[in-house]
Amino acid sequence: MPIVESDYTGSRWVRNRHLQTILPVLFDYLKANYTRERIVLDDGDFLDLDWMYTNSSRVLILFHGLEGSSQSHYMKALANFANKLNWNVCAVNFRSCSGEMNRKLQSYHSGATADVHEVIKHILEQKPFNKLAAAGFSLGGNVLLKYLGEQIYTTAARITRAAAVSVPVHLADCSAELAKSHNQIYLNRFLKSLKRKMNDKSRQFPGSVDANRLNNLRNLAEFDQYFTAPIHGFIDAAEYYSRCSSLQFLADIKRPVLLINALNDPFLTASCYPSHIAQQSTNLYLETPKHGGHVGFTLHHLSSKNWLNHRIMTFISDKE
C-alpha cells in the first residue's frame, strides 16, 4: 500500500502507444484564457506564471514537461478543467519556455527545485490562498516529486496533495530509452527545440556555446553531457542524472502524491514503476494503467470525458 488499481482502459480504437502519445498533440485546439504574471527570481532572472482565477481560496500549480509550456495540451486541459471546479490555477512556464528567452545562461532542468520553491513562496506571500495543490507532467513531474521529497524547502509543507504524470523518475534509464530507434520522432523534436534555444543563448552570451558540438548532437545524453550539466553546475550528465532523478526522493515525501505512469509509455523503463517504494509508503500512490502512452491517456483530452483530468482532480480534492 498504496498501489492503486487503475480503472483506465483507454480507447478500444487506438491501442498503439505512439498514437496514444501523439494524437492528443495533433488534435489540440483547446484555448486557455490565462492572465500572465512575471516574477523576478532571486538571481535576477524571471519566470512567467499564467493564471486562471476564481473567487476560491485554493490554487492548483502546474508544471510542464521538457520543452513544453503553459500552452501544452495537457496543461491547458487540466487548467480549464480545474478552473471549472472552482480552483485558481497557476500554470508555470519554466525558464526560456514562456515565449521569451530568459536572462541567464542557465535555463531549466529536471532537478531545478529552487525555482519551484520561489514560485510557491511568491504565491504564499502575494495571494490569499489557504489550500495549495500541485501537478507535474513528465520533466515537470520529476521536478515536483524531487521538490516534495528533498525536505529542504519549508514551502513544500504547504502543498496539501500533488499528482505527477508520465514521470521519468530514473533519468539515466529514460535518456537511454529515448535514444532508441522507436523514439526517434520524439528525440528529433526535443533536439530541434533545444538546439534552437542554445543557438539563441550563443547570441545572448557570445563564446558560451560550442556551435560545432551543438549541431552534431545525436541524443539527449549528449546534450546533457555538453550543455545541461556544465551550465548548471554538474560534472557531467551522469552526475546530473544521479542527483536529479526523483526516484531517490520518493520515500521521503510527506504529503499524499499520486504518480500515474502508463505501462506502455514509450519514454519510460522498468525503473519508473517503483512499486517497492509505494508498497512501503503511506504517501506515494502509484497507478500504472496498461494504456495511455506518454501524457496521452485519452483521445477525449479536450472534453469533459477526460479520464486523466478527473483522476487528478479527484485525488487532489481528496474525494476518493
Last residue of a domain, one of 226, 244, 262: 244
Q: Burial code of 29-55, b = ≥16 C-beta within 10 A, e = fewer?
A: ebebebeeeebebeeebbbbbbbbeee
Contact assessment for residue 202 and residue 209, using Cβ atoms and an 8 Å cutoff: yes
At which residue does the C-alpha cell 514562456 appear?
A: 98
Question: Are 126 and 179 found together in one domain?
Answer: no
Question: Closest by alpha carbon to 165, among 133, 140, 199?
Answer: 140
Q: Judge if 56 and 86 occupy the same domain.
A: yes
Tell me, yes or no, if 138 is annotated catalytic: yes
Are residue 96 and residue 192 in the same domain, yes or no?
A: no
Over residues 88-95, the mean pLDDT reads: 98
SS3 state at 242: helix
Catalytic residue (one of 73, 291, 294, 301): 294
C-alpha cell at 134: 500541485
258 and 234 within one domain: no
9-23, 122-136, 208-222: the lowest-pLDDT one: 9-23
Instruction: Tell me the residue range of the domain where 213 lies.
Output: 171-244
Q: Are residues 44 and 143 in the same domain?
A: yes
pLDDT tier at 299 (50, 70, 90 boundaries)? low
For 155: left if phi > 0, alpha if psi spans -120 to 50, otherwise beta; the answer is alpha
**220 plus 71 within the same structural domain:** no
pLDDT at 320: 56
- Residue 302: the pLDDT is 44
Residues 31 and 98 in one domain: yes
- 178 pLDDT above the threshold of 80: yes
Q: Average pLDDT of the chain?
A: 93
How many domains is the chain partitioned into structurally? 2
Same domain for 17 and 128, yes or no, is yes
Please tell me the distance from the alpha carbon of residue 139 to that of residue 115, in angstroms, as a whole number.
Answer: 14
Same domain assignment for residues 180 and 162: no
Which ranges of the chain would DSSP assign to H, the alpha helix? 17-26, 73-84, 113-126, 139-150, 171-178, 184-204, 211-215, 220-223, 229-231, 237-244, 275-280, 307-316
- What CATH number does the domain containing 96 carry? 3.40.50.1820
Residue whose entry in the numeric block shows the C-alpha cell 504524470: 165
> For the segment 141-176, what is each residue's pLDDT rounded down to a tens digit?
999 999 999 999 999 999 999 999 999 999 999 999
With beta carbons less than 8 A apart as the criterion, state whether 143 and 110 touch.
Answer: yes
Which entry of 138, 175, 246, 281 is annotated as an active-site residue? 138
- Do 156 and 177 have their domain in common? no
Q: Is the pTM of this model over 0.85?
A: yes
Does residue 294 have an active-site annotation? yes
CA distance 47 to 103: 10
User: What's the pLDDT at 303?
Assistant: 47
- Out of 191, 213, 244, a domain closes at 244
Each residue's pLDDT tens digit, 16-74 = 888 888 888 877 888 999 999 999 999 999 999 999 999 999 999 999 999 999 999 99
Q: Is the pLDDT of residue 119 over 60?
A: yes
Residue 139 is predicted with a pLDDT of 98
Separate counts of helices (H) and strands (E) for the chain? 12, 9
Q: Is residue 265 among the annotated active site residues? A: yes
Q: What is the largest CA-CA distance in the chain?
A: 54
Catalytic annotation, pick one of 245, 265, 281, 301 = 265
Distance CA 199, CA 193 (A): 10
Rg value, the chain, Cα = 18
**Does 81 share its domain with 181?**
no
| 183 and 37 within one domain | no
Last residue in a domain, options 214, 244, 274: 244
